[in-house]
Amino acid sequence: MKYSPVELMIVCASHALEDRKTVAVGTGVPCAAAMLAQKTHAPNLVIFFEAGGVAPLLPTMPISVGDSRTIHKALMASSMAEVMQFCQKGMMDYTFLSGAQIDAYGNINSTMIGSDYTKPKVRLPGSGGANDLASFCWRTLIIMRHDAKKFVEKLDFLTSPGYLTGPGARESANLPKGTGPHRVFTELAVLGFHPESKRMMVQSLHPGKTLKQVQDATGFKLEVAENIGTTQEPTDDELRILREQVDPLGYILRRTG
């Protein structure tokens, strides 16, 4: 069964989520990945929504974090403050983020493009809860389009912390030891972070993609895993569940192709 780049990204992201773990998600692609994981290999995955929904049984794809579907048959209809407290207490295994820019250490900019904060070229939505999630969740999963304007040597603005300036920098900033960015999913590859240098590292190439394509679309030098692999393609069952059960109205899949 044929699949789109976005469908491949969603399926790859779903594979990173384990059964009986917790994940904080927003709407869009992260929600689709979490729903797909629940409907396939992680039926006991506990989903938290930033606006307060805790462990809902999602009937269909919600269109915002405040959508009533995010509390459908949920354990709790709480608040943003309570969800952030769960993160601060170390109860959140995973979260999903994205942004306009990302650097080699997984730091993210979702605030502005330009050199002058008061007069930016582009004003972006800002942090929302992204800084809190990146700071306190154990593993941050990032989904982004892959091009050199987004994967940059230096951010125009640091919104959400990755490994900051490298090894030991998160700990020096008093962020919990052992937290930080874990995987980056793009339409070209799955990337991780080198355990020692903390720089972004190619883990696997998507079918038909080359290492040169990935490096050419990146504005900084990438590390490469010793045993770089080929990304597993979505199965027909995964694609069927994604299209027919997760996003049958095409909120994400139709809009993104």
Residue 242 per-residue DSSP state: I
Identify the residue whose tokens are 């490469």.
224
| β-strand pairing of 181-185 with 76-77 | unpaired
Domain containing 23: what range?
Answer: 5-256
Q: Over its length of 257 residues, how does the chain's per-residue pLDDT go in tens digits? A: 899 999 999 999 999 999 999 999 988 899 999 999 999 999 999 999 989 999 998 888 998 888 999 999 999 999 999 999 999 999 999 999 999 999 999 999 999 999 999 999 999 999 989 999 999 999 999 999 999 999 999 999 999 999 999 999 999 999 999 999 999 999 999 999 999 999 999 999 999 999 999 999 999 999 999 999 999 999 999 999 999 999 999 989 987 55
Cβ atoms 32, 252 nearer than 8 A: yes
pLDDT for 256 equals: 58
Sign of torsion, CA 139 250 147 118? Answer: negative
Give 224: exposed, middle or buried? Use CB within 10 Å, 0-12, 13-18, 19+: middle
Give the number of other CB atoms < 10 A from CB of residue 233: 15
Is 50 among the residues known to form the active site?
A: yes
Residue 95 CA to its chain's centroid (Å): 7
The domain total for the chain is: 1
Cβ atoms 164, 103 nearer than 8 A: no
Closest CA relative to residue 61, chosen from 243, 251, 239: 251
Q: The CATH number of the domain where 172 resides is what?
A: 3.40.1080.10
pLDDT for 255 equals: 74
If DSSP codes are grouped into helix, strand and coil, which group holds residue 206?
coil
pLDDT for 257 equals: 53
Q: Choose, from 18, 50, 171, 187, the residue flagged as catalytic.
A: 50
Its pTM stands at 0.95
pLDDT for 183 equals: 98
Cα–Cα distances (Å) from 83 to 10, 42, 80, 89, 139, in that order, read 24, 21, 5, 10, 16
If DSSP codes are grouped into helix, strand and coil, which group holds residue 178?
coil
pLDDT for 185 equals: 98
Sign of torsion, CA 180 182 185 189? Answer: positive
If DSSP codes are grouped into helix, strand and coil, which group holds residue 241?
helix
